[in-house]
Chains A and B, each alone.
Chain A
Amino acid sequence: MRHAPTRDPHADEPVSGAGGVDSALVEARNVSHRYGRRRLFSKDDGPLVLTDVNVAIARGESVGLIGESGSGKSTLGRILLRLNRHSGGQVLFDGQDLATLTERQLRALRPRMQMVFQNPYASVNRRFTISRVLTDPLRVNRIGEEDSYGDRAREALERVGLSPALLSRYPHELSGGQLQRVCIARALITSPSFVVADEPTAALDMSSAKQIVELLGRTRAELGLSLLFISHDLSVVAQVTDRIAVMYRGRIVELGPTQQILDDPAHPYTRALRQAIPNPHPRARRRQRAQLAMEREDAARTSGCPFAPRCPRAYDVCTRSAPPLLPLGDGRHAACHALTAE
Chain B
Amino acid sequence: MNDRLVIENLRVHYGRGPEQVEAVAPMSLTVPSGQKLGIVGESGSGKSTLLKAILGLVRPPGRVEADGIWLDGRNLLHLKPKEFQALCGSELAMIFQDPVSSLNPSFTIRYLFRRAFRLHQPELPRRDYEKRMAQALAQVGIEARGALDRYPFEFSQGQLQRITIALACASPRLKVLLADEPTASLDVTTQAQVLDLLDTLHTQLGFTLILVTHNLPVVAELCDRVLVMRRGHVVEDADVVSLFDNPTHEYTRHLLASMVTPRPVEPGRRS
Contact = CB atoms under 8 A, between A and B. Distances in A.
B1 interface: no
Nearest to A232: B187
Nearest to A284: B264
11 contacts: A69-B187, A205-B214, A207-B254, A235-B260, A236-B260, A264-B270, A275-B271, A277-B217, A279-B221, A280-B220, A283-B244
A215 interface: no
Contact of B141 (A265, A276, A285, A294): A294
Interface in B9-57: 42-43
Interface string B56-70: 000000000000000
B221 to A, nearest CB: 4
A304 to B, nearest CB: 20
Interface string A259-286: 0001111000001111111111111111
A234 B189 CA distance: 11
A207 B261 contact: no
A274 B141 CA distance: 23
B175 to A, nearest CB: 24
A276 B192 contact: yes
Interface stretch (B119-127, B130-138, B152-160): B152-160
B271 A280 contact: no
Contacts of A287: 199
A210 B260 contact: yes
Interface in B235-271: 240-241, 244, 254-255, 258-265, 267, 269-271
B86 interface: no
Nearest to B240: A282
A287 B267 CA distance: 12
B195 interface: yes
B85 interface: no
A233 interface: yes
Interface residues of A, number: 45
Contact of A280 (B187, B196, B199, B261): B261
A265 B270 contact: yes
Highest count of chain A CB atoms <10 Å: which of B191, B195, B260: B260
A102 interface: no
Contact of B195 (A205, A273, A278, A295): A278
B193 interface: yes
Contact of B258 (A206, A232, A233, A282): A206
A280 B217 contact: yes
A282 B220 contact: yes
Contacts of B261: 235, 277, 280
Given A69-B187, A205-B214, A232-B187, A275 B260 contact: no
B108 interface: no
A280 B261 CA distance: 7
B42 A209 contact: no
Contacts of A286: 221, 267
B56 to A, nearest CB: 27
